[in-house]
Structure 1
């Protein structure tokens, strides 16, 4: 739950304290930098910290800050972005001195199986058939290397293709090592050196297997690739401490979420056994935090991993939220890029708290332990770390004050050969929702006799540095827009990768290949012929792939299909919210078998299936020939057609909008072609709009039709004030429209009822995760602070997918 008053309170406090500072002789900063630190000779702050930055003092080598593409499908949509937006996003991720400036890129080694929000394709769907061009991770790594030739590449598997160990499901086999060596060979084909290689993500470890992996790397000429174990918990360090062979095989101890999972990351300890190994310790996966709301946690962890646990690398999951918004972790990462057709994106606050380290220190620099710790000796005040460059002259100190409640001072004394010249101060106001307050060069300070003092405001990340070359990218995003219908894909036009444009696999691997069944050209084929070694545990793990806009309502999805063997294919429509780790999906399915059996089925977010209609064609469809299948959705009527003949229909009101998709109900290699979506009659529904907060509805105060009437939250009662009509992207009540007051676009702008005028502030786009997005601002209809108090006026706010932003249309 967000604490809505905190940022405004702190901003007001900062302004007041700035005034007091000016009275005390401090120079006032420009308005946009009102709470920036100021050089000071006197201060009334309660907490004061003396930091001696001594270049002769010891500290561990810094291994860099990075992020993960994979685990899974979180980068999928990035490759389908148009130019120049695609390059802008890549620059914000990888270009030094521009954005996040990531120093490590961790790639999923695809296994054709769901690994959180999608499935990443294997390079070897069947044993011996290696295709080094499968997937989009190679493309991403090449783009990262082009921008930063020094970036480190790290490979890790979440799952593996089903042929491994003769289909036994045993990951810890020689087959897996052979598979990883083939992946290393593919990396070389893409001119990528792999710096680090792990085992099986978050699935423990097998010591002998890691020893064999190390031997295989050396034998294959990859002796410079370091082995990371076990991408799980600290128990691997305990095992290494008592097993010399295992210890010798492992170069880096990598653990996940040492600061806790989905928390505030206030404490990030390691263990005594781990520290005694003498190996680098890494937070090899951390994060899982919203791109904006999670920035404070990330700011803490990057510093506190080292202060608390002597961890020298922080790797964020994921790198970017380039995935559809109906998926569970759809807002986690450096930024959000979920509309490749419009080019719309949002650079998150997490980008800038990350940049406060990555733009000021490079892998190979060393921490200075004596200049790292907690302000005032307490983690409640914030933390600081200091790193010195390899030239033993430059240094940077990164300070976070996430938990501070009042200004404080830090006095720096520089010695030990480090530069005593001017330092440059950069700051991110993490409490601010205004991007102009993020990653700002606030001032330069010239030390006096190697000493200077800064005043630090609460809720900030600061970097004090002798280096230059930092910058904040200036590219801006175009406005969001729906993907219009009709839409079609014959799969003939080559996409950037082996996945067709906009299609995102949730299980299995859907890849463009030459058509079968005597058809010329290119078709889409499900490539995984056997159940993979899985990472998730969803009860229904059949292959399917989804695409498109969650706001689609009435439309028909059509595709030609070829049954390569006895099997059942499916068309998906109104694909809505997916359960965590693919543990369910709100959607309609038209399933058609080679026997001629068909059914219209709905599924929910626990993978409960309900058959709405079923039957069998007069003749079997058979294998080896093509057939055309269609699912039409018009309001509550669902209609199935095969080869142009209507075979049945059903009535259901569960899902009003969502994406389309294709699937196979088992691991068979069926094909699809001529995918098309045609619009139906625009939706027109009347009834209550229910909140994701149980028992609450959108309500017109007093059932009034007067302009400016408050639109509020109220107990659902079936009364006339709760009857809304959804049509053509607008919600109306008594002929008036749900309206964002004054065409506002800022967080907290209220909504009311107003004469319909067709303005963008009266247009709303339903998303598959249940949110309603304002066409003007891109922000979501929001119940402030998750309140359930009757009469609470609704507003717009940054979309976060919370229950207070979920609305079921009538």
Structure 2
């Protein structure tokens, strides 16, 4: 993943007559799973209609030279982006895995690169190391082993790669380019073997350059430990400097088998041009676009379609790896919709498969690693990049072939006249397509009627904005599994942590720094606890010096008490986190939320932080020393603007602050502080924000309440802000039908959908102007208008009008219930 902080840096023939090789192609009756998907009518073989432009002749020549395909796939890691997938219930978990890896179901990934966890944030979270401290190896930590096992069980031929982003601080005295890191990587390969996993490729240090001597030593170590078949990838950075070095240093060239570069088409670009370098090609080594994408799972589909083809056409790259595989993280975590699918709610089982899945499938379901590109049968349509691109590959049986065509930028339909030669099959051709410009899933990965070439010739008219696959192979398919409805994680929530295996992560906990994993409880306590395992400052991947913390829960949680037993193993502090929402990984603890911090000496504080790392101490004091090796119960209550903290049942501090209105809970510690946590409980208090709850709605910017002017109950009475006084005209109820009612039978209402529409009350009628969404960021938006409930002019005075306005996220649009 890109570290932005470090790198801001023939004319148709008319008239019916005898059957022609340019025959008419009409959609056949589709299978039940594709019923209604008739969009292939847009891409027809034509013998009757004139094409939009002169036909392009393409010869698919099996005798053409070309490099072997290594695979198309994605990254799990860089980091934490697959975290919640393992917590999904069945059958949804298996359905998602099938969409990712199983041939004939979805993306059918041919390459999976996983992070070698290093106990430090590497973009969207931190992944646990197999060796937190020197020599203490646990081969069952984390979820990447599980994910690789699941991928291999679905596709025995998938290639697996490993790469480190960060590493524990004991390695090389925090110098990654050391013998320690080589030993560390060999131990990771040993762990893979205990899971029955053969690793095909191994990298160095993600986006941190290269050290030629280190790679030579790594090659020697792999060979001497029985891993001579593991291919080394260098350098997983930007550009082809490692390839240049290999031409100067034959020993380095012998050590490395693959040269991989990131974002070869440009970072988050349209991927229209994807060159490597002359030196890279001249090495004769495998070349990979070893990290690409970083784009939304739907909006990135056009760029992905270009990049997969053009990486080979422009730069002879035979591997394409998208970042990441899936966004299995909650929406507040950076890059929450990147990948080929999104899975943010294991508690509800809800997920979404993106267009990226089907763009990837248009190549992966029609080829396999080892197939050969046909150089003379690949290029740009009509020699013009804007028309689109095509690549042809032949099977290892030297008969079957597939041609993948993308027309992302084409302005009109194009007719392609194909001639098949060079020993390739001249039998039936199967055609599949995805309309990338369509958001209708019925238009994605659709099979049309077969084509029967005549004399090895056939024709196809392709439409703009599509990916097509023409193939002599069979076995392709599209899963019909569907997602259940999304839903909130309900409170109360609790976990004793006794149901997990040692070394694993507790359900829904998402580490952002450090490593919080299951361990035996200390100080004579029976059972299992969560332990923060990172004992020293790690080798960071990002530049931020963040301290260990982990998050759990739903962003819609508002008023609750989070409580946990806590034991400090060494001098320092532990923290409970509440109302955690937006998180920025670039820098120290850049999280919007509240913290209750307690030291072993008894100093306590209630703090607020934001995404810029601006800490505010809201309250602080001292109590009896907690010491180390002793259990204590910490609690943080967030009820409206009232925040209170307690230790062992005694309240130590209370303060008023309305900056953050909703969010997750979390655990945290000081850097290098090991600590244990047990018996987590999250209990709703006051007005929890659930339907049916009644209470005030207070403006975050004004600290005044949503109020019916003059306590009137007449239809049309306007709504304003006023000093909170507990009057009936300030008591609002969120109903199950998304209404905000007052007096029991009057609804908050706006007339129309224009900005500036004045809020009022009206007799409830079920209309869209009376339906509201109470959002996790504190805003209240109209279902009918999509506009936010807004205090006019960001005013704070009594009587200031309330209206609807374009959502800005300002404090005059944030409300606190209860």
Q: TM-score, normalised by structure 1?
A: 0.85
1:36, distance to aligned residue in structure 2 (A): 3.3
Asked if the contact 1:325–1:767 (Cα under 8 Å) also holds between the matched residues in 2, the reply is: no
- Pick closer, same or farther for the CA change 1:771–1:123 going to 2, 3 Å: farther
- Pick closer, same or farther for the CA change 1:108–1:780 going to 2, 3 Å: farther
**Could you report, residue by residue, the CA deviation over 1:612-639 in whole angstroms, capped at 9, with x for unpaired residues?**
011111x211111100000000011100
**Separation in 1 of the partners of 2:190 and 2:781?**
45
Which residues of 2 match residues 564-575 of structure 1 at below 5 A?
A: 564-575=569-580
1:421, distance to aligned residue in structure 2 (A): 1.2
Query: Partner residue of 1:511?
Result: 517
SS at match of 1:464: strand
1:44, distance to aligned residue in structure 2 (A): 2.7
Query: Partner residue of 1:394?
Result: 400
SS at match of 2:160: strand
**Could you report, residue by residue, the CA deviation over 1:408-443 in whole angstroms, capped at 9, with x for unpaired residues?**
111111111111111111111111111111100022
1:536, distance to aligned residue in structure 2 (A): 0.9
Report whether the alignment pairs 1:438 with 2:444.
Answer: yes
**Separation in 2 of the partners of 1:471 and 1:759?**
43
1:803, distance to aligned residue in structure 2 (A): 8.2
Query: Partner residue of 1:764?
Result: 773
**Separation in 1 of the partners of 2:42 and 2:776?**
38
SS at match of 1:530: coil
Match of 1:314 among 320, 343, 350: 320
Match of 2:95 among 65, 88, 93: 88
- Pick closer, same or farther for the CA change 1:347–1:689 going to 2, 3 Å: farther
- Pick closer, same or farther for the CA change 1:247–1:360 going to 2, 3 Å: same
Match of 1:110 among 100, 117, 139: 117
Q: Which moved more, 1:369-378 or 1:543-552?
A: 369-378
Query: Partner residue of 2:359?
Result: 353
Which residues of 2 match residues 124-139 of structure 1 at below 5 A?
A: 124-139=131-146
1:88, distance to aligned residue in structure 2 (A): 0.5
Asked if the contact 1:237–1:274 (Cα under 8 Å) also holds between the matched residues in 2, the reply is: yes
- Pick closer, same or farther for the CA change 1:752–1:427 going to 2, 3 Å: farther
**Separation in 2 of the partners of 1:354 and 1:74?**
19
Query: Aligned-residue CA RMSD in angstroms?
Result: 3.5
Asked if the contact 1:524–1:671 (Cα under 8 Å) also holds between the matched residues in 2, the reply is: yes
Query: Partner residue of 1:536?
Result: 542
1:33, distance to aligned residue in structure 2 (A): 2.5
1:48, distance to aligned residue in structure 2 (A): 2.9
Query: Partner residue of 2:794?
Result: none
Which residues of 2 match residues 764-783 of structure 1 at below 5 A?
A: 764=773, 766-767=775-776, 781=786
Query: Partner residue of 1:666?
Result: 671
Which residues of 2 match residues 121-520 of structure 1 at below 5 A?
A: 121-165=128-172, 167=173, 169-234=174-239, 235-494=241-500, 498-520=504-526
Asked if the contact 2:781–2:787 (Cα under 8 Å) also holds between the matched residues in 1, the reply is: no
**Separation in 1 of the partners of 2:64 and 2:714?**
71
- Pick closer, same or farther for the CA change 1:531–1:457 going to 2, 3 Å: same
1:451, distance to aligned residue in structure 2 (A): 1.1
**Separation in 2 of the partners of 1:771 and 1:297?**
34
Asked if the contact 1:135–1:498 (Cα under 8 Å) also holds between the matched residues in 2, the reply is: yes
Report whether the alignment pairs 1:560 with 2:569.
Answer: no
1:379, distance to aligned residue in structure 2 (A): 1.1
Query: Partner residue of 1:72?
Result: 79
Report whether the alignment pairs 1:58 with 2:30.
Answer: no
- Pick closer, same or farther for the CA change 1:689–1:390 going to 2, 3 Å: farther
**Separation in 1 of the partners of 2:54 and 2:183?**
57
User: What is the aligned length?
Assistant: 739
Match of 2:629 among 613, 618, 624: 624
1:736, distance to aligned residue in structure 2 (A): 3.6
1:266, distance to aligned residue in structure 2 (A): 1.1
Match of 2:610 among 597, 604, 609: 604
- Pick closer, same or farther for the CA change 1:206–1:425 going to 2, 3 Å: same
Asked if the contact 1:170–1:533 (Cα under 8 Å) also holds between the matched residues in 2, the reply is: yes
**Could you report, residue by residue, the CA deviation over 1:320-348 in whole angstroms, capped at 9, with x for unpaired residues?**
01011101100001100010000000011
Asked if the contact 2:644–2:654 (Cα under 8 Å) also holds between the matched residues in 1, the reply is: yes
**Could you report, residue by residue, the CA deviation over 1:172-195 in whole angstroms, capped at 9, with x for unpaired residues?**
000000000100000000000010
1:782, distance to aligned residue in structure 2 (A): 7.8
- Pick closer, same or farther for the CA change 1:757–1:397 going to 2, 3 Å: farther
Asked if the contact 2:210–2:234 (Cα under 8 Å) also holds between the matched residues in 1, the reply is: yes
1:581, distance to aligned residue in structure 2 (A): 3.8
- Pick closer, same or farther for the CA change 1:262–1:249 going to 2, 3 Å: same
Q: TM-score, normalised by structure 2?
A: 0.85
Asked if the contact 1:36–1:442 (Cα under 8 Å) also holds between the matched residues in 2, the reply is: no
**Separation in 2 of the partners of 1:252 and 1:570?**
44
**Separation in 1 of the partners of 2:511 and 2:254?**
39
Asked if the contact 1:523–1:671 (Cα under 8 Å) also holds between the matched residues in 2, the reply is: yes
Asked if the contact 1:298–1:350 (Cα under 8 Å) also holds between the matched residues in 2, the reply is: yes
SS at match of 2:55: strand
1:707, distance to aligned residue in structure 2 (A): 12
**Separation in 2 of the partners of 1:772 and 1:294?**
30
- Pick closer, same or farther for the CA change 1:102–1:771 going to 2, 3 Å: farther
- Pick closer, same or farther for the CA change 1:88–1:613 going to 2, 3 Å: same
**Separation in 1 of the partners of 2:642 and 2:416?**
67
**Could you report, residue by residue, the CA deviation over 1:17-48 in whole angstroms, capped at 9, with x for unpaired residues?**
xxxxxxx9775788742353111235331253
**Could you report, residue by residue, the CA deviation over 1:115-174 in whole angstroms, capped at 9, with x for unpaired residues?**
001000000111011000111100000011111111111000001111111x3x210000
1:236, distance to aligned residue in structure 2 (A): 1.5
**Could you report, residue by residue, the CA deviation over 1:683-737 in whole angstroms, capped at 9, with x for unpaired residues?**
45536799xxxxxxx9xxxxxx9999xxxxxxx999xxxx997846847498546
- Flag structure 1 segments of 5+ consecutive residues without an equivalent: 1-23, 691-697, 699-704, 709-715, 743-750, 784-791, 797-801
**Separation in 2 of the partners of 1:365 and 1:209?**
33
Report whether the alignment pairs 1:656 with 2:661.
Answer: yes
Query: Partner residue of 2:108?
Result: 101
- Pick closer, same or farther for the CA change 1:236–1:686 going to 2, 3 Å: same
- Pick closer, same or farther for the CA change 1:325–1:423 going to 2, 3 Å: same
Asked if the contact 1:37–1:442 (Cα under 8 Å) also holds between the matched residues in 2, the reply is: no
Query: Partner residue of 1:646?
Result: 651
Match of 1:686 among 684, 694, 697: 697
Query: Partner residue of 1:746?
Result: none
Q: Which moved more, 1:428-437 or 1:575-584?
A: 575-584
**Separation in 1 of the partners of 2:108 and 2:760?**
42
SS at match of 2:448: strand
1:262, distance to aligned residue in structure 2 (A): 1.5
- Pick closer, same or farther for the CA change 1:509–1:549 going to 2, 3 Å: same
Asked if the contact 1:689–1:724 (Cα under 8 Å) also holds between the matched residues in 2, the reply is: no
Query: Partner residue of 2:793?
Result: none
**Separation in 2 of the partners of 1:246 and 1:579?**
38
- Flag structure 2 segments of 5+ consecutive residues without an equivalent: 1-22, 30-35, 690-694, 707-712, 723-729, 754-758, 789-802
**Separation in 1 of the partners of 2:235 and 2:309?**
22
Q: Which protein is bigger by CA-based radius of gyration?
A: 2
SS at match of 2:292: strand
- Pick closer, same or farther for the CA change 1:678–1:170 going to 2, 3 Å: same
Asked if the contact 2:602–2:625 (Cα under 8 Å) also holds between the matched residues in 1, the reply is: yes
1:794, distance to aligned residue in structure 2 (A): 9.0
Asked if the contact 2:27–2:449 (Cα under 8 Å) also holds between the matched residues in 1, the reply is: no
1:245, distance to aligned residue in structure 2 (A): 1.1
